[in-house]
Amino acid sequence: MLELLQRIFRRDSYKTSKDVAHERLRLVLMHDRLDLSPKVLDELRTDLMNVIKEYMVIDEKSMEINLEKDQNCVALVANIPVIRMKRLPNS
Amino acid sequence: MGEVFVITSGKGGVGKTTTTANIGTALAMLGYRVVLVDADIGLRNLDVVMGLENRIVYDLVDVAHGRCRLRQALIRDRRFETLYLLPAAQTKDKNAINPEQMKALCEEIKKECDYLLVDCPAGIEQGFRNAVAGADRAIVVTTPEVAAVRDADRIIGLLEASEIRNPLLIINRIRPKMVRTGDMLDVDDVIEHLAIELLGIVPDDESIIVSTNKGEPAVLNPHSKAGEAYRNISRRITGEDVPLMNLENGEGFMDRVRRLLGLRTS
């Protein structure tokens, strides 16, 4: 009953159980799919490195890439020491 | 040469066996030669849903181990002469059959039918690997619930790893009324999460329980909504373009009042 009243009077802010399910699924699937194999992570690292190397000289050995998860979000965190910038032809 | 479909879901109790029985029966109604294989070794179910439990002599494991010929183990349906069932074994031995044997069996059967449907057990272990071993395509069954969709997502990943591309999705047990009031994930929500092609939607329907009680698949009942949904799905499998079923049964009085008062967003 309370729910019904909430629904009627606060229609805009009230979250239906479907909305809650949708949001929970989004997070759960994101976490599940994060289970990247070391091989995929390695490929990602190589691809990233190749792109960055076009612009700067980086310390490839101490480069770190990780997926960090917490309750509400997931971030790809990369720590890539730059040794020097390349001189770009049009800058 | 027939096509092998595995019907799978990850989570138990979402309607794999019901789906297998109904699609198989509906395809046979259309005149196709269909073989249903119950791959749930140890937990035989499909025979009961099909109403064929009294006629089992040999089973899947007997055929795989050469204890009988395939023809001896196949049970012909009483209603349709192009519909056959290969029942699961009741053995407790998990390793009674392996993926290579299953694959060989599927190859043998599909030479002589148009559609071979494999009813996959729940879970992602040996039984799953057996069931998908000989499959050309997969049908993933889910319900509009968080746990079922999550497991379906895992299964889709595993199917990809088994090189079964482009699985098809069936969303089962939809309750239009709950969708309308915002208390059930709708079809678009589920597709958004799983991102695979939709084969069909099936409403939650009490007639399924009645049909399981009797051992008569719901597609045989012209008044069953779920039966109609499965008949549509079967026609889509054969390549026909059939629009999605309208699940709205007309709105009730209170729904109309609420809509007129603007108390519903949908």
pLDDT in tens, B33-60: 999 999 999 899 999 999 999 999 999 9
**Which pLDDT band, with edges at 50, 70 and 90, does B263 fall under?**
low
B188, closest residue in chain A (CA to CA): A22
What is the CATH number for B252? 3.40.50.300
Which structural domain, as residue segments, surrounds residue B40?
Answer: 3-260
**Range B21-30 average pLDDT:** 98
B168 domain residue, yes or no: yes
B129 domain residue, yes or no: yes
B172 domain residue, yes or no: yes
Predicted pLDDT at B30:
97
Predicted pLDDT at A14:
77
| Residue A5 clears pLDDT 90, i.e. is over it | no
Burial class (CB in 10 A: 0-12, 13-18, 19+), B166: exposed
Tokens 């595995």, residue?
A: B6
As for how many domains chain B has, the answer is 1
Q: For residue A72, give Cα distances in angstroms to A26, A28, A30, A41, A75.
A: 10, 10, 10, 22, 10
The whole-angstrom separation of Cα B204 and Cα B176 is 9
Predicted pLDDT at B47:
96
A72-76, B8-12, B22-26, B121-125: range with lowest mean pLDDT = A72-76
Interface size between A and B, measured as CB pairs under 8 A:
42
Contact at CB, B193 and A26, closer than 8 angstroms: yes
The whole-angstrom separation of Cα B125 and Cα B104 is 20
Quick one: which H or E segment has residue B197?
strand B197-203
B183 vs A contacts (CB less than 8 Å): 16-18
Q: What is the mean pLDDT of chain A?
A: 82
B208 domain residue, yes or no: yes
B181 domain residue, yes or no: yes
pLDDT in tens, B185-208: 999 999 999 999 999 999 999 999
pLDDT in tens, A26-65: 988 988 887 777 788 888 888 999 999 989 999 988 888 8
Contact at CB, A11 and B265, closer than 8 angstroms: yes
A16 vs B contacts (CB less than 8 Å): 181-183
B265 domain residue, yes or no: no
B266 domain residue, yes or no: no
**Range B55-80 average pLDDT:** 94
Nearest-CA distance A17 → chain B (Å) = 5
B150 and A CB contact within 8 Å: yes
Q: Please give the share of chain B, as a percent, with pLDDT higher than 70.
A: 93
